[in-house]
Structure 1
């Protein structure tokens, strides 16, 4: 999808609310990703400077750090304002929700590997997800959970350190 198509999709994810700080972050994020499509380094350079300027402005205004190097899937949503740090080494699937106070990042500074988050993942306020781990699909991370191990599909992770609880099947 092109830059404006992605921004339209993000606006739909935010239910048309231009005032949402998460949407502001996504506009700058999409611009940062788009600039990599410019083949000529000479032409890309001013766009890169512009991106770095707007990235810092949005980071200061919103308290949300989402580097453009992070691959995010469709319908990525930052649900609440502030104190969100996402490592440039992380990755997200489709339909993920991130709330305030969340950190998705490195466990150790020496190990340049951050979590890989699946699709349909809801991350509660204050959660910390750290290290070279995988969070499966259809996972809920509880508020203030500290997740240091991989979480399988269809699970709930709660507590410090997080305990992994399989979700109950609603069909039984």
Structure 2
């Protein structure tokens, strides 16, 4: 636990702006609510509420406490970021403003699994990742790119060309 606290403080110290530091701090503290220890759960409850009030209502950044995010997260210009509750993000990932990562609700009411991102993944502004996709370690997703298919480690997905490939059903 002491190791995780140290990693969290280093993550927050390097997060950039005060707004980014606050968003990451509130997320990390709200994850205490998911622990089995009753004392930690009780400690985490106020941060779940603060995460909702400050991050979501004030900054428009939705990172539920159920989302699993590795240490080293960086959020540049944290505004309009939406992560689904079952999303898994690896270590040292970078998100920019307007990023959306989540599952897909089908017409029949069923939902897909949520995306899983590897380590060192970088997402440009307004990038969208939807559905049961896996993004490999070191992948880069450009600004405004919609990803609905798996990406190999180190892959680069950018703009309209990638959307066209995904729309035709081809593998990128």
Q: TM-score range by the shorter chain?
A: 0.7 to 0.9
1:157 aligns with: 157
Is the 8 Å Cα contact of residues 83 and 101 (structure 2) preserved in structure 1? yes
1:90 aligns with: 87
Greater percentage in helix: 2
1:11 aligns with: 12
- Equivalences for 1:103-122 in 2 at 5 Å? 103-108=100-105, 110-122=110-122
Count residues with an aligned counterpart: 159
Once the two structures are superposed, what CA deviation does each residue of 1:9-33 show, in whole Å capped at 9, x if it has no partner? 2223225x5x2x2211111111111
TM-score w.r.t. length of structure 1? 0.81
1:170 aligns with: none
2:33 aligns with: 35
Runs of 4+ in 1 over 4 A off after TM superposition: 43-46
Q: Structure 1 residues 69, 56: closer, same or farther in 2, change over 3 A? A: same
RMSD of aligned alpha carbons: 2.2
TM-score w.r.t. length of structure 2? 0.81
Correspondent of 1:61 among 44, 58, 61: 58
Correspondent of 1:22 among 10, 20, 23: 20
2-side partners of 1:114 and 1:152: how far apart?
17
